[in-house]
Structure 1
Amino acid sequence: MKASLLALPLGLALSLGATSAFANTGTINFTGKISTASCPIEIVNPDSGAVSNLVNLGSVDSGVFTGVGSIGGGRGFQMRITPGSGCVLDPAKLNATVTYTSVQGGAGDHYGIKPVAGAAKGVAVGIKDNTNTLVKNGTKSAIYPLSETDPTLMYFTAVYIATAATVDAGPADADVNFRVDIN
């Protein structure tokens, strides 16, 4: 009998504790933003007008590079923003900047080469904006004015840039993410 009387207060305490856990209330805060549709960005080959996300830098002789910071090769490309069908530009915000970030990393201000077997060493990809200034990894380009109604072409040039005193030959492909900010 004593054992069952001792168990009774313990059982009551546990059941009250469980009941109070269900009596609590709280608040959930949701945050978000409703925005206009984003505008598609097309990568355009200026020579052919073809739309593709591939910019072919071709083959550059390793002897062209004379030291850190020297540039070899060069290929122009454009980014096109076309207003219409879901892409509405605010007339008060008709300037764009582009920020590039290296997928491979490891190239400081530039964009790292893919780490594949036999890849070129001592070199990275650099991107110049329309002022012929190298756009550093993670920083904004020069400002490009946009048209509210017509397609806008933003001109860039991709180059190879030496990151070491000696550049070793090999595949020199790079992937670069981009973000276009319109303000």
Structure 2
Amino acid sequence: MKKISLLALAVAAVMSSGAFAETGTLNFTGNLNTSTCTVAPGGDAGAGAGAGVVDVDMGDVSFSDLSTVAGDGTVSAAFTDIDLGLSCTAATGKTAVVMSFDPQSGSGLDAMDNRLLSLAAGGATGAGIALVDGTNQIIDLGANGEIRAPLTVDGAGVGTADMALRATYVSNGDTQVGGAANASLPFLLTYE
């Protein structure tokens, strides 16, 4: 009996020595909403293999036809139109849709010009992909560039928006080597 009592005291002493830990609190803030949107590609974009996937056919382009980005951020080139029609449920009280991009989860930022989306490894070099808004301004992916569109909400709470952007291959100053010029760019739609 004494052995059990001494063992219990020893265990209690060891456990109480761990009682000198600090305590704290994790505070989480945020907002949940039921707004969801479906994406319907238009322009030169087509529906991809899964929900929310948009395939953009950039075509077969010669390096001699590539544009550059001017000092003011404008791009003049032949563009591939990416018109996305959005239909959003439970959008009452929302006024805009914002499309932000996550290049690091896709092909990455172009090493020569981080405003551009990098082409996938193993293919062409010497260019990147520029996303451009309706005023020919580059959407600077390296600076968390985004595009926004007004959201029109009907009496049933269904919102619609048209996201119009364009894409083009842009020379990045690196050695030009022909090949596949593919890339991927995850995006996120948020509602304001």
TM range (shorter): 0.7 to 0.9
**In angstroms, what is the RMSD of aligned CA positions?**
3.6
Q: Size of the alignment, in residue pairs?
A: 170
The equivalent of 1:128 in structure 2 is: 132
The equivalent of 1:167 in structure 2 is: 176
TM-score using structure 1 length: 0.73
CA distance in 2, matches of 1:20, 1:172: 63
Given residue 32 of structure 2, which amino acid in structure 1 is its aligned partner?
S
What stretches of structure 1 of length at least 5 have no aligned partner? none
Contact kept? 1:120, 1:170, Cα under 8 Å? yes
CA distance in 2, matches of 1:65, 1:33: 44
Structure with higher strand content: 2
- Structure number, greater radius of gyration: 1
How big is the shift at 1:161?
0.8
Distance 1:16-1:97 versus aligned 2 partners, 3 A rule: closer
> 135-144 or 62-71, which moves further after superposition?
62-71
Contact kept? 1:68, 1:165, Cα under 8 Å? no
CA distance in 2, matches of 1:120, 1:151: 38
Given residue 110 of structure 1, which amino acid in structure 2 is its aligned partner?
L
Q: Paired residue for 1:80, among 75, 82, 85?
A: 85
Given residue 40 of structure 1, which amino acid in structure 2 is its aligned partner?
C
Q: Paired residue for 1:51, among 36, 47, 50?
A: 47
Q: Please give the residue correspondences for 1:27-106 in structure 2 after superposition, counting only pairs within 5 Å.
A: 31=28, 33=30, 35-46=32-43, 50-52=46-48, 53-65=54-66, 73-83=78-88, 87-91=89-93, 93-102=94-103, 103-106=106-109
3-state SS in 1 of match to 2:117 = coil
- What is the CA deviation profile of residues 114-171 of structure 1, one whole-angstrom value per residue up to 9, with x for unaligned ones? 102xx11111111112232111115233431111135321111111111116532111
The equivalent of 2:150 in structure 1 is: 145
How big is the shift at 1:74?
2.1
What stretches of structure 2 of length at least 5 have no aligned partner? 49-53
Q: Between the two proteins, what is the percent identity of the paired residues?
A: 15
How big is the shift at 1:89?
1.5
